[in-house]
Structure 1
Amino acid sequence: MPSNRVSILTVAALSGALLAACSRPPPAATAEPAPTAATAATPAPSAADTGAFAFRIGALEAYALKDGDIDVANDGKTFAIGEPAEQVAALLTAAGQPTDTLHLSIQPLLVRSGDRTLLFDTGAAGVSFARAGRLPAALKAAGVEPAQVSDIFISHAHPDHVGGLRASDGALAFPNAVVHLSRPEWEALKGDAGNAALVAAIAPKVQAFEPDAAILPGLVDAVAVDGHTPGHSAYRIASGDQRLLYLGDTAHHFVISVQRPEWTVDYDRDATLAEASRRALLQRAVDEDMHVYAVHFPFPGLGRIKRQGEGFAWAPDR
């Protein structure tokens, strides 16, 4: 998630076992012994432990996949640029958040639909600004091998979203997947010499689409959200009458980005346009009562945008 002043890319089961002891009742005069460590129940691993949180979109099976975290200093250089420090601190304090550091999660989305396995963004892999690279383990916890992924939907080409496209040896991490991204984003990626190796690796797999295209009709539509990068896209995933809006980088922080969408973010290529786009999509999420998947909000990033006074607030599912 680099500044717009640097290259777009600088880098190349959920189940536990219960151990039950079956024994004859002890003699009436003998007190029943307390369970020992050997006979006590073993807790099921949590989604936080495995990095895979299961949920549904209508009839579709879906997983939030934890790849890692990014910590950003709250120093006015990245978020809330030009805003009074005390005002930013007050907003964070009111939400029970630390005022020195902004914590961002990284969580690609997995969706299964019939014989298709869809992955939305690929995490940060080994990029230097993130503590990341857990996506392969999270996929395994969800019961998916990389070769099973049929479609990858890239919101934009910042390294915390495309870093996992290639393995450490440079080979495709998802060898059988078609890579979908908007045509403006693809053209910008190809035009950046620093991304030559990535472009060469994924070019045979890329299917570029026009902004707002119905990519997989009835299943996945693109939603153009202008300003962050040349062709940034959110995605709307449908099943029956259920919809999930995948935000991409429309909003980064669950307090600042939602409650103050007009505050400038250094990551945005065109800050003025991104601010207008952010507010418009948040308003649409409220108007349509959309279920939202936020890539950088606290794991698992599921919830809704609610009206709060003249602005908005994030209401997580849990």
Structure 2
Amino acid sequence: MYGSKASFSVCLAFATALATVAFAQMPPQEPGSKSFKLGSFDIVALHDAQFVRPNDNKIFGVGRSPEDVADVLKAAGAPADTITLSVDALLVKQPKRLILIDTGVGGALLQSLAQAGFKPEDVTDVLITHSHPDHMGGLVKDGKLAFPKATIRMSSPEWTFAKKNDQLADVVKAIDGHVKTFEPGAQVITGITSVGLKGHTPGHVGYEMASGKEKLFDIGDTVHSSIISLARPDWPLGFDSDAAVGEETRIETLKKLAGSKELIFAPHFPFPGVGHIQSDGDHFKWVPAS
């Protein structure tokens, strides 16, 4: 399902190295927090970082030319030579829990958490969509647990995958013993159910939150660019371990979301990354929540 072991390892090394280099070169990041209600849940979008990738068709528009990608960017009124991605996390406050979904790379996340009025030790649970460093790198700070009282939850295949990644060895060592796994599709915490989203990593999941009649779906890395991923969801993505399966999942998920009009959180869309997917002819567009 995920291609050959060799090609998968190459993709993983490329994605991890690329993210590590990109974030290492970032200037200090500005914190940000945006609060809203979802039924009885208090939700806060937290800003961690952002990075800018050149339009070189190595990540977006793989197999296409930079000119093809530039045409899509220009049509949306965006710069044609670069692609900017935000890195954000989601905080969910329930009566007896404070749940953090993903931890970014460890840029401004802790400052954003403080801006929202919380301390790292307040976090009771950390839910990980997948183990790329821009989603679980913030689990560790100065070699220690960044959220010392939290149970870390991720899918069983993703934890197995993370433990085999030498580039995550320091993070894995620090969090080992604090991780509880689940099978994709399982309810992880009351009101939060995991959703398997294949193609990006072996255990990549999103999280469906429901309180009363209100829902919010954290779609993880099903999409990255709020422009390219929606205008051309059929284009391969360099970060996906299996481009064909990733494309299938992306298109299927976008069609479903456009039909349901469900509120979503996309951690790489412009902060705060909360809004709706709409159909736009034969493709899709992003409508930020007001």
Same fold flag (TM > 0.5) = yes
SS at match of 1:251: coil
Q: 1:277 aligns with which of 230, 249, 256?
A: 249
User: Hey, what does 1:4 align to over in structure 2?
Assistant: 11
Task: Report what 1:29 is aligned to.
Answer: none
CA distance in structure 2 between the aligned counterparts of 1:262 and 1:282, rounded to whole angstroms: 11
Matched ranges for 1:72-221 at <5 A: 72-125=53-106, 133-168=107-142, 170-217=143-190, 219-221=191-193
> Which residue matches 1:32?
none
CA drift at 1:84: 3.6
Distance 1:195 1:5, change over 3 A: closer
Secondary structure, counterpart of 2:117 in structure 1: coil
Q: Number of residue pairs matched?
A: 272
Tell me, yes or no, if the aligned pair for 2:31 and 2:108 is still in contact at 8 Å: no
- Distance in 1 (CA, whole Å) between partners of 2:285 and 2:145 is 39
Q: Structure 1, residues 241-277: CA drift from partner, whole Å, max 9, x if none? A: 1000101111000011112111111110101000101
**Aligned-partner SS, 1:77:** coil
Separation in 2, partners of 1:5, 1:222 = 23
SS of the residue corresponding to residue 161 of structure 1 reads helix
Q: Which has the larger radius of gyration?
A: 1
Question: How far is 1:159 from its partner?
Answer: 0.5
Amino acid at match of 2:158: E
The two structures have a TM-score, normalised by structure 2, of 0.89
Report which of the two has the higher share of helix. 2
Indicate if the aligned counterparts of 2:137 and 2:171 stay in contact, CA closer than 8 A: no
SS of 2:51's equivalent in the other structure is strand
Task: After TM superposition, give the deviation of residue 214 of structure 1 in Å.
Answer: 1.1
Change (3 A) 1:262 1:135: same
CA RMSD of aligned residues (A): 1.8
* Residue 306 to residue 120, structure 1, CA distance change in 2 (3 Å): same
How far is the alpha carbon of 1:315 from its aligned partner?
A: 0.9
Q: Deviations over 1:142-181 (max 9, x none)?
A: 111000100111010000101110112x110001111111
**How many Å separate the matches in 2 of 1:226 and 1:65?**
25
Report if the CA contact (8 A) 1:3-1:266 is conserved. Answer: no
Is the counterpart of residue 234 in structure 1 residue 215 in structure 2? Answer: no
Unaligned residue ranges in structure 1 (runs of 5+)? 12-47, 126-132
Deviation at 1:317, TM superposition (A): 1.5
CA distance in 2: counterparts of 1:5 and 1:185, whole angstroms: 13
Would you say 1:286 and 2:267 are equivalent positions?
no
- Structure 1 CA distance for aligned equivalents of residues 15 and 51 of structure 2: 17
The 3-state SS of whatever aligns with 1:108 is strand
Distance (Å, rounded) in 1 between the aligned partners of 2:124 and 2:53? 33
CA contact (8 A) 1:3 1:267 kept: no
Are residues 259 and 8 of structure 1, via their aligned partners in 2, closer, same or farther at CA, if it must alter by over 3 Å? closer
Aligned: 1:268 with 2:240: yes
Measure, in 2, the Cα distance between the counterparts of 1:271 and 1:220: 28
For residues 8 and 86 of structure 1, the distance between their equivalents in structure 2, rounded to whole angstroms, comes to: 23
Instruction: Report % sequence identity.
Output: 40
In structure 2, the gaps of 5 or more residues are: 1-8, 21-28
Amino acid at match of 1:199: V
SS in 2 for 1:137: helix
**Contact 2:30–2:108 (Cα < 8 Å) also in 1:** no
2:256 pairs with 1:249: no
Contact kept? 1:93, 1:99, Cα under 8 Å: yes
User: Please, which of 295, 299, 314 is the counterpart of residue 271 of structure 2?
Assistant: 299
Matched residue SS, 2:276: strand
**Distance in 2 of aligned mates of 1:49 and 1:198:** 24
Offset of 1:57 from its aligned partner? 1.1
Please identify which structure carries the higher strand content. Answer: 2
| Distance change (3 Å), C-alpha of 1:310 and 1:236 | same
